[in-house]
Each structure stands twice: as C-alpha cells, then as structure tokens.
Amino acid sequence: MNRLIQNKYLFSAFFLIFLLALSGCGAYYNTFYNAKKFYSEAEKQRLKQEKQLQKSQTSVRQSQRNPRRRVSNIQGYKKAIEKASKVLQLYPKSKYVDDALMIIGKSFFYENENIKARRKFKELLAAFPKSEYAPEARLLLGKTELAMGKYDAAEKTLNELLLDKENKKYFSDARLELGEMYFKQKLYAQAVEQYERTINKIKDKNVRAKAQLRIGESYLQLNDYSKAAAAFGRVRKYKPDVEFLYQADLKHAFCLDKLNQYEKALNVYDRMLKLTLTNYETGNVYLQSAITLEEKGDLKRAYEAFQNVIDNYPKTAASAEAYYRLGLYELHQSRDFSQALDYFKKAVKEYPRGEFVKAARAQIQAITRLNELGDTIWALEDAYVRKLNKEDIGGDTVLVLGGNQTANPDTARTDTALVSARRDSARADSLRWKEKIQNNPFAETFLTEAQKKEKARQDSLKTAALKKKRRSIKIPSDPEEIKKMLVQNDFQLAELYYFQFA
C-alpha cells in the first residue's frame, strides 16, 4: 500500500515536471513566434516602401540607385530584434537560437545597422557553421561588408560561400555581389568582367538577366552609350519578368536617345507600351517618349505629349515632371515667365515627393526674385525721373510693391510694359556683363565669388515665405542715391539672368 502511494506521488511529481517543461517550451516558442511575426510584417512594409520609392523616380540615372536597403523607421524590425533577443537571453539552449540570430542579423541589415548586423552574422557562423541559415548568413555578411566599404573582407566572405559546393543556392547572388563590389568602387571595367563571368557560369535566366542589366549600367556609368545600349538590348533574350524588362527597356531607350537615335528610342517606348505595365509605369513611358521628342526637336509633339501625361496620369511623378518640363519650355522657348511660374508651382503640388520638386522650387524662387527686381527697378526709375523733373514727392518715401496696391496710387502705372521690357532686356544686359568680366584678369575669381553670393542668396530665400505678395522699399529723397540703387538692382538682375535664365 505504501509502495502504491509512493508510486502515485512519484508519478504526480514527474507529471508536474513535464507540465512545467512543456509550459517553458511553449513560452520560448511563443517568444520566437512573435519575433518571426514582427519580422515578416516588417519585410512586407519594407517591400512596400521600396515600391513607393521607385514610383517617385522617373529618370534613368536615379533609378540606378538600388533602393533595396533604404528603409524608413520600420518598427517591426525593432520589435523583431527585441523578441529574438529575449530568446537568446532567456533560452540560450533552445533549438531556435540560430533562427533568432538570423532574425536579428537580417533586421539590423535592413535597418542599415551594418556593424551590429555583421556581428550577428559572424556569431551565427561561428556557433552554428552547419545551420541551415549559414549559407544565407555568409551571403548577407558579404553584402554587409560591401556596404561598410570592407571590400577585401567582402571578397573573402563571398568566395568562401562559392567554395561550399554542397550549398549552391546562393552562388548566383554571390557572383552578382562580387560584381557589385567592383561597381561600388567605380571599377566598372572589372565589374563588367565579373558580370560576364556570372552569365557564363550561371544557368538561371533571371540571374543572367540581372547580370546583363548591370553590364549595361556599368557602361552607362562610363558614358559609353553605344555599349550600354547593346547590353540593355540583350536583356530581352533572357525573357525576364515584366518589371525587370521595363527597367532594361527604359535604359535601352535612354541610351539610344543619348546617341541621337531618336526613332529607335521611340520604337522601344512603343514596344514597352505593349507590356502589362502598372499605371505608374505606363505614365513614365509616355513621359520618357515626350522627352525624346523634345530632344529630337519636335517641340510641338513634345508639348502635346507632356499635356497627355498630365491629363491621363495625374498625381504621379510622371505628371509632376511633365509640368516641370512644360515650365522649362515656357521659360526658354516662349519666354513666358508668368506661364512658366504657373507650371513650376503645379509641378510642386502635383506630386510633392517627386524627383523634380526641388528643381521646380528653385525655378519658382528665381522667377519670383526676377519679378521682384523688375518691380523694384520700375519703381526706382519712376521715382528717379520724377525727381529729375523736380516733382515734389516729399522726403524719403516708402512704396509698397506687389499685390494690387501701392502707397502712391495717383502716380502708379497700371501699364507694366516697362517692367516686361526690363525683364526681356536682361539677357542682353547679362551678356554685356559677361563680356566685361571675362575680359577682366580677375574674371574667374569674380565669377566664383558671384556664384557663392548667388548660392547664399538662394539659401536665404528658402526660408522666405513664397506666398508673400506685397513688400515695401524705401525710396531716398536724393536722386543720386536712387541712381545708386538702380545700378545695384540692374546688376543683380543681370547676374540672376546670367546664372538662371541665359
């Protein structure tokens, strides 16, 4: 009987221990599960951000910047790191340690925390050299070292991965990264050799297409548009997916455009429109086609094509750039500063994250400044003439310029022809000014200083309220002082025109 009771207590004790162990397993699994969940959510958000970044880019040059590691405050990675770190701290003997190290390392990698990411990948490889994550960890270690500029270490790491004949899954990525190593160092000829070696050694069509694209981009960096065009044109033979083909064709047409082979470039754009593209991509194709027409000199068709982009693809990076280019057209072809200003303002409002918003704002500031100088010169000329005619306008006078009012409405001219004439003659003034300074032995120094002053002025304008329509100037009573102010403003007008609009 006593033995039976003892066995009963012994069984209960073992069962209790089993339950405690089971609850412990459940606890660390739940912690690990949460880490995986947060990491998965962060990955989805990162990919979404990359697509949004891509949509804000329209130019071929900018699209060469690889956005894969550009993230913006994704909290999921931080939470994944926190949960996975608890697994390491509280359950260092669990079977999920290598999983946790990998989650932490990859999270740091996509947060651009290179030093921390490198440390975790090294920990994983040292503690678990046979882990299922070891090959990927080695690849990411190589990528991290590349990002840190540790090219020798990256080359060693990636070549070690290529020596592991039992795990060939990441061979193609490793070979591409070796090409990237040269590309990042601007050793484009060596990069081309590595990418060509990748094409010859890898059978995967997608990888070969990527390598072929990077060959084209290497030649593009060398401004060898002929070889770049040929390389981009060969991407098609590997039959990549539509998104990838879109990038290759876009760059192919860009190079043809640079080679003045406009009809061939337009044919590439027409071919692209037969692909299954997104609304953003279609709008960008039409935009690039319009730019080619503009480069070709077919300005009427280009103008209509830009309008087509605006009408059919509103609130996109493409329509914003179309507004910007119409502004440039009005500025340099029609010399209609008012219409140009309107287009530049629309470019800013159309897609605030667009690539050309900064340039549009700079044009707005320049034209606004041009108008201000024109108004000021008109007011000074008017006051100077009246002073010479001995008209009594009292002592120092404050005139309010802009808006629909002036402080002296009885003598204010409603006809702004003088201001327009002054603005239109600014080009001639700037050319005469340019000739004078270039004949001066200190011309180069003067130009440099003038450019510095103009940059400083532009920087100060950034903090000014662009919507301010009215401002005042003080007109001195002495005609000679007015004349000095006129000379100063004339010079500023010529300087602005020379640097911004000539």
Structural domains present in the chain:
25-162 (1.25.40.10), 365-501 (no CATH)
- Under DSSP, the state recorded for 237 is G
Alpha-carbon gap, residue 374 to 368, rounded angstroms: 10
* pLDDT computed for residue 466 by the predictor: 43
Q: Token pair of 130, please?
A: 């046979």
Candidates 65, 57, 70; CA nearest to 354 is 57
Whole-number Cα distances in Å, 192 to 186, 195, 199, 227, 228: 11, 5, 11, 11, 11
* pLDDT computed for residue 406 by the predictor: 34
Mapping DSSP to helix (H, G, I), strand (E, B) and coil, where does residue 22 land?
helix
- What's the CA angle centered on 115, arms 110 and 121, to 5 degrees? 70
Tens digit of pLDDT per residue, the chain (502 long)? Answer: 455 445 554 545 544 454 444 445 555 567 777 878 888 888 888 888 877 666 555 555 445 544 444 455 688 899 989 988 988 888 888 888 999 999 999 999 999 999 999 999 999 999 999 999 999 999 999 999 999 999 999 999 999 999 988 888 899 899 999 999 999 999 999 999 999 989 988 888 888 999 999 999 999 999 999 999 999 999 999 998 888 899 999 999 999 999 999 999 999 999 999 999 999 999 999 999 999 999 999 999 999 999 999 999 999 999 999 999 999 999 989 889 999 999 999 999 999 988 889 999 999 999 999 888 888 888 888 888 887 777 665 555 555 555 433 333 333 333 334 444 444 454 444 444 455 445 544 445 444 555 555 555 555 544 444 444 566 777 887 888 888 888 888 888 888 877 887 6
Q: 164 in the Ramachandran plot: left (φ > 0), alpha (ψ -120 to 50) or beta?
A: beta
- Backbone phi, psi, residue 56, to 5°: -90, 0
Candidates 377, 400, 371; CA nearest to 466 is 371
24 contact partners, CB below 8 Å, separation of at least 6: none
- Backbone phi, psi, residue 459, to 5°: -60, -40
Alpha-carbon gap, residue 253 to 292, rounded angstroms: 9
* pLDDT computed for residue 19 by the predictor: 42
Entry pTM:
0.68
Surface-to-core class of residue 403, CB atoms within 10 Å of its CB (0-12 exposed, 13-18 middle, 19+ buried): exposed
Alpha-carbon gap, residue 488 to 494, rounded angstroms: 10
Alpha-carbon gap, residue 251 to 228, rounded angstroms: 8
Q: Beta partners for 386?
A: none
Whole-number Cα distances in Å, 31 to 25, 46, 99, 307, 476: 10, 23, 12, 56, 77
Alpha-carbon gap, residue 278 to 234, rounded angstroms: 23
